[in-house]
Amino acid sequence: MNRKTFPTALLWVTLFAGVRGLAADSPIATDRPSVTDSSIVVPAGSLQAENGLTETTAAGERALDVPETVLRFGMASRTELRLTVPDYFGMIGAASGFGDLALGMKQQLGPVDGFDASVVLTLSLPTGARDFTSHGYDPSVQIPWSRSISKNWTIAGMLSAYFPTDGASRNTTGETTFLFDRQLTKQSDGFVEYVGDFPQRGGPRHLIHIGGSYRPTPHQQIDLHGGAGLSRAAVDHFIGIGYSVRFTVLRH
């Protein structure tokens, strides 16, 4: 199997392995389409596949990013394991190729006094194509949180630190997000989000991000989102779609 077919094959093998049954407990909660991750883990014994496609325009150049697949497996009631499948970056009129694979885990800390929070630890491995790999082992830590403020409104955010390899050194980058989510119907919601990236080298990247999701069943989700840069170093704009599904693979 070559590098171009590996991510797609891995996704389909995983989905068919989960066909033993859709999870029968709580509704699906995903880490997409917002940049802010969900503050809770997937249920124990469940496998969740989150996928998407995004078109981005920056400095007049367009790029496609697919399949944006994150596989999340519930190891225990508050712990999940994570696999980020390499994305394929299609640069319109330029080089294209796969990015790096990443492994991680998520530990839920809440709820505490009405707040939910988790810690996400990830390590990116240099498996990608020459033009799209960092050529290093890059760790990151994220702390997503959320709190309901009324029946239909939730506030959320995330504090993150990334340590990407940039040439011969790391370009340590802090990130902060803040989000308002509105439950529109029992099956749908919408959000507006601020995202700020603050790299050690290079200018800050500020984004405004809006989107929404629809759940045709309690364990499937379709999403649509888009955003625009608010600073010179940020992308011009982006738009994306996604589909997520959760299966029960182990009965407890």
For 125-166, write each residue's pLDDT tens digit: 999 998 889 999 999 999 999 999 999 999 999 999 999 999
Tell me the pairing of strands 61-66 and 88-91.
antiparallel
pLDDT reported for residue 92: 67
Give the pLDDT confidence score for residue 105 in this predicted structure. Answer: 98
Q: CA–CA separation, 214 vs 151, rounded Å?
A: 18
Q: Per-residue pLDDT for 8 more than 70?
A: no
What is the set of domains in the chain, with CATH numbers? 6-248 (2.40.160.40)
For residue 39, is pLDDT > 80? yes
**Using one digit for the tens of pLDDT, what is the confidence trace for 182-225?**
999 999 999 999 999 999 999 999 999 999 999 999 999 999 99
Query: How much is the pTM?
Result: 0.88
Q: What confidence tens digit (pLDDT) does each residue in 227-249 have? A: 999 999 999 999 999 999 999 99
Summarize the confidence of residues 106-132 as an average pLDDT: 93
pLDDT at 23: 47
